[in-house]
Amino acid sequence: MQDQVKKNIENKVEHVGDVITDSSLWEKIVDFLNYNIYTFTEVVGGEEKITSVIKVKYVLLILVILIFTTYILRWIKKLVTRKMPEGDKVKFNTVFSFARWFIYIIVFLIAIDSVGINVTAIFAASAALLIGVGLALQTLFQDIISGIFILVDQTVHVGDIVEIEGKVGRVEEIKLRTTRATTADNKVLVIPNHLYLTNSLYNWTQNGTTTRESVDVGVAYGSDVQLVKKLLLESATDHKDTLDYPAPTVLFIDFGESSLDFKLVFTINDSFNARFPKSEIRFEIDRLFRENNISIPFPQRDIHIIQKPDQNIQFKVNNSGENKK
């Protein structure tokens, strides 16, 4: 009885297979899958020889492999980052986004080689094109490699305040090719990653959020330098944004051409907005100097007119910081 049932099932399966094989729809599907998209040929001994063929079924198979690779990479990413701290997870995701593209390229090359397409022949046939593309994408590859170096050597992190080529911004995102930062004016600064390798980079916050800032000022010769020092320290100490430690200090920089030059150094906790406390301290310095009759000189020019008989008038210019009588 069981043998009879088994035989009936086998006959029905064979019948369904014959119907599918004989149907015109199946023939169309098979013809579509076997359709030649492109044929690679080469001349050997004066005769043209077919080296490899690209068919529709090969293209579909490669797409399936790439989709399968995508799901595998996502699973690996979730597995690795499942118990990672949030900071390490952000770094890993950025590095993983770089490595993913290289994995796709390797899988793609292996897939097309597996379906019988000669990869070497493709590269040889398109050598000139690949050289042109390589030259055109040279900067792009520099950006990608630089982005990897940024994450490996921990030069820049998200949230750092960096200065490059005179531009200052807070890093918001490190991408495959560029780093996106926001300036103090809330403008988006897009920095190509290769600039980190070819230019000097100042990371204001790598050692912490506190930074030492300074305000330069010059006073007239003859001023009481001890009083100047006292007033400068007062202007910085009384400001709400300056820190008590390290304490503000005053440096006597130089005897300038028209002034005694001082530098007021102080510490703040928000270097990104340092321009605001520095401006307020300058206002306070000006007020204190006016109240104590301390003048801030500025360069002046005295013109002496020398006139001799039967000669043209000659001008003599002297630069000084004081008026001459």
User: pTM for this structure?
Assistant: 0.53
Q: Which is higher by pLDDT, 73 or 317?
A: 73
**What are the pLDDT digits (tens) for 231-267?**
999 999 989 989 988 899 999 999 988 899 999 999 9
**Banded pLDDT at 226 (limits 50, 70, 90):** very high
- pLDDT score at 267: 92
Provide mean pLDDT across the span 272-283.
Answer: 90
**What are the pLDDT digits (tens) for 279-322?**
999 999 999 999 999 998 877 777 777 766 655 555 555 555 54
Q: Quick check: 170 and 272 in contact, CB under 8 A?
A: yes
Provide mean pLDDT across the span 120-127.
Answer: 63
Angle at alpha carbon of residue 194, lines to 203 and 134, rounded to 5°? 170
The pLDDT > 90 percentage for the chain reads 18
Buried b / exposed e across 122-147, counting CB within 10 Å, b at 16+? Answer: beeeeeeeeeeeeeeeeeeebbbebb
86-114 and 138-152 helices, crossing angle to 10°: 140
User: In Å, what is the CA distance from 290 to each residue of 26, 231, 233, 235, 294?
Assistant: 97, 11, 16, 13, 6
- pLDDT score at 323: 41
Q: What is the dihedral of CA 278, 279, 285, 286, to 10 degrees?
A: 160
Alpha-carbon torsion (262, 266, 272, 278), positive or negative: negative
- pLDDT score at 309: 63
**What are the pLDDT digits (tens) for 7-52?**
655 665 565 555 555 556 667 777 777 777 766 666 666 676 666 6
